[in-house]
Each structure stands twice: as C-alpha cells, then as structure tokens.
Structure 1
C-alpha cells in the first residue's frame, strides 16, 4: 500500500493537468506497486520527510502486528512509539543499527533514500525477521562450543581414546593414544581397524566384537610399545538400537603392573624372610675353637668381598648354611636379600617354578597373578642353593644360562629379565664323581666352583665341640627360660664321640639330654634308649665298641653301616618319615630319598 497523498505529490497530480486522470493513475500505480513489493518477499516501509508512513506492505504490517490501513499516513511515533524507526531521519539513517529488537522479534533492515532531483522525499526500509536465524545461529554456536569442549576433554584425557564407526573406520584418536601406542594419529585416521591389524600396526581390534555383541568388551594385553594396557570398547547406539560408533578406552597400566609385581615380590620375600631370615647376625650363630674352622672363616672373609660364585663342600650337618650366611653378612650385599632354597627338598616338577617363577596361566593351578621365583626375590642380593647335587639335569642347563647371561625367564613367558644375584651353592655329594657318571654337568660345575670352601667334619675339629655345646645350652636356656649347664665331664665325653651327624647330631643330642635331665647340671646321658654307653669314659656307639677288635671296615662300609643304623633307629622312634626326618634334622623329601636308597625293599 502506498499513500495517495504521497503519490499525488510525487507525480504532481495536484496540478490541473494531473487532476484529469487522477483516480486512474493512482489506482494503477497502487496495483503495480503492491505486486512489486509483494514479489520482494520482504517487509517494506517508507517514511516521508514529515515522518509519516507513506509506503508499507502486508509483511511489514504483520511484523508490526497491525494492518496496512492503520499505518498509511500516520506519524511513526504515533503508531510505533517504541520502535527504533522513530529516530530514523534522512540525515542519520546510515548510522542507525541495522539489526534491532521489536515486538519480541529480531529484525534486520536495509534502508534507501528516495529523492526527487536533489531533494529527499522519503526513506524506504526493507525489513527481514531473522529471529529464527538468530536462534539457529546461537544454537549452532552453542553446539560448536560444546563440540570444542568435548574435543578438549577427549584430547586431554590421560587415557588413550580411539573412536571408530561400526565398520571399524578410524574417526578420531587423542594424543594420549599416540603416547601409549607409539603410533602417530595421521597414520591411522581414516583407516579401517581390520587393515591396521592385518598390517601389524595394531595387535588387536575390539570393534567387530563390540558391534556383534552390542556389549562392552575389555581385554588386557602388552602393546607394540611394550606397555601393559587395559582396552575397553564401548558401543554407542543409534535410535534403532544398532551400534553406530565404538569408543575404545586404552589405559596404560604398566606402572601399576610393575608395582603389583614388586609388591608380590616383596610379599613373597617377606614370607621367606619370616621363614629363613637370619635370626641373629652370622657372627652370633658361629661358635668355634679350632684352627681348622678359623681357616674356613678366613677364607670366607676373603671371598665375601667379591661376587664370585662359591661352592661349599662338607658332610651333612657341618654348618654349610651358617658359612653361606657368614659370607653374605660380610659382603657388600649384606643389606640386600638373602634367599635360600633346598634343591633336594622340593619335588622336581615344582623346582623350576620355585627357582624362576611363572606368569599367569603358565600351568594348571598356577596363581592367577603369576609368582616371582627365588632368583627375582634375591635380585641385588644373595641366593643360596643348598644340596645343589640334587638339581635335575634339565634345570642344571637353565641354571647355567642364568650364570652366563644373568637373565631369567619365567615359566610361560617369552621375555627374559635381568637379575643381579650372587650365587652360593652347597652339597655333601662328590660332584666330580657325579660328572663321571653323567648326573652332573661339568660346565656347570666349573661355573659354580670358582671358589670352593671345604668344611671339615666335626670329628676333625673337636676343639669346636665345647663352644658349640655351650652355645647350644645357652640357646635352650633362652628359649625355655631355664638355667641349666653342662658339666666339664659331660663336655669331655662329648669331645670323645665321633659325631657322624656332625653339628646337627651334637645339638640334637644335647637338646635331648636337656629335656630329659631333672638336674640343672647335665653330667651324663640319661636317655634309657640312648645308643651311647653310660658307664665308661667314652661315648662311642655300642656297635662300634663291640666291633673295635674286629677287622677294620672300609670307609664306605662303615658309612653304609652307620646310615642303615641311623635311618632304622630314626624310623623306629619317629614311626613316620616326617618325624624321623625331624629327629635327624633334615627335610622329609631328603630323608625319604636316602631311606629308599638304604632300604629299597621296604619302600614300594
């Protein structure tokens, strides 16, 4: 709609010539103008120099919530008192903001000045309602900000994040994934997981399993960057309940696994310490008075300062473990672990796992978390392998590799681990004879026998018996809170006995007299079942005294006779291999093995 007054003035229809076709011209101009403005699909409003509305259309009336008739020839400030249009004039229209709020809408206006000659006669404004566009822009802005925020969260997550579509195409990975996997993101973005696994760049893919199961899937593995990781694939569903994306979380648990391994090792080490820790300093456990044993300790002092392997030789019960402890306590490793294992006391099928440990699932019945072996527990310290002559040939080869490479491999593992262990071994067997019959490796023998220490039997160092007896009675007094003592005569009788069981037999005999004696001073053997004669100034076994006048047997014959007698009496008193072994101060497995050698027909 256009103001009739405005058209009349604009076309000079107020002159006599113009008035002839006044009505027809105005009607025709209105029809033309309305169709033109309607085709523009925009709200149009023009204000003359008197600030009256002279042109408008239906879109403008609708935006201003009125009718065209109510707007034409009205002053702007009358019909639109709160509109920014009330301030628009020919001189300032360019400086007025093009975007403004009116009637709860956001409007955008383009303005054009209409002039006749050089004289402005009206200012035309073209309006557009951009309220929905502004809302969409704001929503887009908010969505973009939220997207950036989520990207920041993903990118700065400490865990690796790997996002694929349902077909396994890589959409996104974060910098943590690059750090954990060691794979640059530009080599995998846009690639399919199946191709990456086939090429060896990735070791596994959870996408297919998550898509097929529609459930969260978790795996633990060691990746190509040598890190222990927990991988968890989570499905993201569309509106139809189908998996749209798979978000995989990759957590580096290497440090946690290492800490758990160290904790398990420390726990196992503590358990072993409870069992075999040195109750006293090594010096306090040693009592001697002979030149022979002094020479042994002097040699131990020399070798303790080096890390050379030591082979301790001697009969059963001469104190080989005490010597091993002495070497450790006087070595630079004295503050480090001292771990002992008796190779003859552990079944052969378990000995390998005890020495080298195992990983989870290595064999049926294995601890689910794996277990460190004695070599790992002794790392930086000393490992004492007692009864090394009982080590099976297959484990002799494994031990030789450890000595050569300073590396161990757990059962079920493919990776080796460096260990720093000082090895001390001991045996009461003749290893050179075992080499001849093929039951002991010569190369291992030479590795173990860098320094050998031979401990003489107690019968060859009888000056050690009095201090050993005195220390034994003192230990028993402390243990039972008593004040018993040994008479000089009793000690003299002890020195006259040969003690084939050496220190262990001596201590067991004194403890028996300690328990059975009613007096605070022990001066004679009081056991009614003792094998030692009481009424003479000797403590030789009866059998030996009866045969003293007969033909002298060979050493092996005498040893065989003594072992048969000793094991027979132990079984008669103990009634079982466990108790008999305890009486002789040895492990049940060692006792059973030796008893089977002596009495093969009685063991089926």
Structure 2
C-alpha cells in the first residue's frame, strides 16, 4: 500500500480501497493490539470500523461489536462527543485533553486520511492515557532508566492534567492551527514556558525548531544583531560569513519571546515590521528573507499599562496579543501540587543513592503553602528536602519560610486540594459520624459495638461484618479520592476490586 505524507496539512493520501483492504487484513488488528494507546479508524459518517484492544478496554464492560458509533463510544467514556465527531466528519486535525468518567486524563488526537481523489476516506483517532505516561516516567526516573533532563518532560504532562491549564493549551493549539499569535501572561515561575513547549510539541512536532529567547538576558546593544542576525563585515568583530539571527533559526517552527516586555524600545519598531510582512533583514544587509514562524510571547508585566506610559509600543502590543492567555498561579491550582511533588521527587530520586519520600504532614504543609515563586519555588523546596532528609521528609525538614507561612493554616483542619487529589486518609478531616451501608463510621466506634436492646452481640457474624466494612471503606475511599481509579490507589487494590465492591454495595442498597 503506497501513500504520500502532506507535511504542511498533516494528512496522508491513501487509496480508499487500499484502506478498506488494509483494515480487513488479519494482521491489522494484531499490529494495532500491540500498541499501548487506544487507536480507532473512523469513517466520515462517524462509524468506527476498527478499534484495537486498548480502545475496547477503555470501556467497562468492553465493546462487543466489531463496528460501532463513535458518538456512543465517546459518550460512554463520559466525553463531550460534539467537537470530536465534527472533526471526523470534516476531516480536520484535532488535539484535545478530556477527563473520562473514571477520572483519567486522555489526550485525543485525530488525523484525517485522504483518498487519492483528495476526499476524506478515514480519520485515525489515538486516545493516550496521560496518567499512565506520568506513572511510567516517574517509575523510570526512580529506577534510573531516564535522565533528569528527560524526566522533566513529566512536568509538562502534569500541567496538562490540570483542567485550567489543559483549557489554555487547547485554546493555544487552536490559535496555532489558525496562524494566530499568542501572548501568555502570568506570574514568574507559573509555567508559561512549559505551556508554550507543550503546544509546540503537540502541533508542530519535535522535528521543528523551538527557539526560546529570554529577552531580558540579551544586552541592549546586541539585541538587534542577535534577533535579526547580521551580514558579513557589517561591523567590527563580525564573522566573515555573517550570522543567522534567532528569528531565522525559528523558521518553520516556534519563536518563543520570553520576558517580551524587556525588549529595548528602539528594537520594537523592527520587530513590528517583521510581524507585519514576515521578512527578516539582517543588520548591514540590503535585502531580506521571508521567514514563517509561530510566535509565542510571555511576560509577567502589564504590557498595556507599559504602552500607556510609553515604555512599550502600543501597536506592537496589539500585534503580539491576538490571543492572550493567563496562566494561573500555583496557589490557585492546588490540585496540581501533589502531582508536581511526585514528579520532582522522582527526578531527585534518580540522582540519590537512597530514595526519599514525604510524610503526610509535610505534604499537607506543601498544599497549604502559597508559593509566591510558583512551580520554580516548589522545585527549590523539594530539592531542599532531598538534602535535609535521609529517607522520609517531615515538616521539620521544610524551609523556615514555608513553616512560618503555613503555621496558621495547619492549625485549622486540613482541607482537600480538590479535584480528586490523592491523599492519605490521615490528611482528610474526619466526617461527621453517619451510617454507610447500615454501619457507623470509624469515628464512632462505641455506637458500632453498642449492644442491642435484646442484650445479644451486635454483629451477626465476623464474615458478614468484614464484608460490610470492606464495602464501607471502598465507598468512603471513592467519596474522598473523587474517582474509582484513585480510590484503588488509595486502598492499594486494583480498580476491578473497587468496581466490584461498589456494584455489590449498590445492589445491597437497591435491594
């Protein structure tokens, strides 16, 4: 079967008849079943003609038909099917992050396959479990099988798992497909660079350049020559062959202007001209070169206010801010903190002779802390713990600044970080005693063993009471953790056990 990739459009030219024959081949399901990600081949009418084993396993119970409706499949997963079905019917590219019914975060990618007549033949969908990828990277980092530089990519995936950041990434990806410039604003260390890198990787791919320019780190006298390059012999000390600038280096890829508010005022006019016509003119050159880039800018300053005071060109501000995205501070997304802690600990354990972990009190302090330095400050705190503790980091190992800032918050009952973040039971306040499946909570043991009026022993049999208490623990774990999958992790059992126990409990209540 022959095909031709169209790199700019991200599509493949197939013969529709060849595709049908390929799907019918007995080896096709075998090859797809070997992949860890869910893969579906969907026709323009929204009918899935082929699904590998991973795609079937996402549902409980699994699919029992060879051909099925994509909309029904997505709705059973708990995903809003509208945008995905529309992309399949129109043959457009799609990248989005969704949270399915059991709490897992799934990256959905859709790519069209065109027939030789140029019309849509099929769409190939890939559903990737981001939670599983995170766990694999952490495990590999702890085992020393990946380097610290490689495991840092897990931080990007951690940010994707946060609902607000996932929405920002989806909006930025839409802007990239439309060729719209993006301005990312937020506090220092909030993850602006990570979001830009993630969007670049998910749209343009790893083979395209990503040029990160720290505008505050380039001396004012060198800014123009560094950004635009220079021609041979244009000034004393210039290279004989000239030099390509950072904008040219980003051709066909992404140019990320970090701290864009620090660009010297006299260089802003030349940058504005490039944004208008797409032509780069090197210092000392008589002609220019057309360059195609996706532009991201980032700042922690108020550019509009700077433009009013004359410190930043207003016309440049409007050129940069076709779409403005605001990255929330870490204190506004506390549900992300436990995941980031695990990632940073895994990175450091890859370099330690003896792995370390955090106890519940230490983690509670980290969740309560406000992080004025955001993710960058959190990384510093975890590195501090790695030095100060032997094997188990407690709150006594935290920096004094964290302890003093969280002392009043910890005096109050611990609050859950929200959104189903996984914490030990000891980190949650005890609920008010109330019956669950007919038994009181552990917070009220006296009432549990109180003798009935008849004077007999309060339980019928040990086996029955153990079974009832198991169901209680499972239900309480699901309630506190927010999903069956996280409840399974909390109880150190597989998810099938949690599903079965929950179903049994529901049957008892219905009966």
| TM-score for the superposition, normalised by structure 2 | 0.48
Larger Rg: 1
| TM-score for the superposition, normalised by structure 1 | 0.41
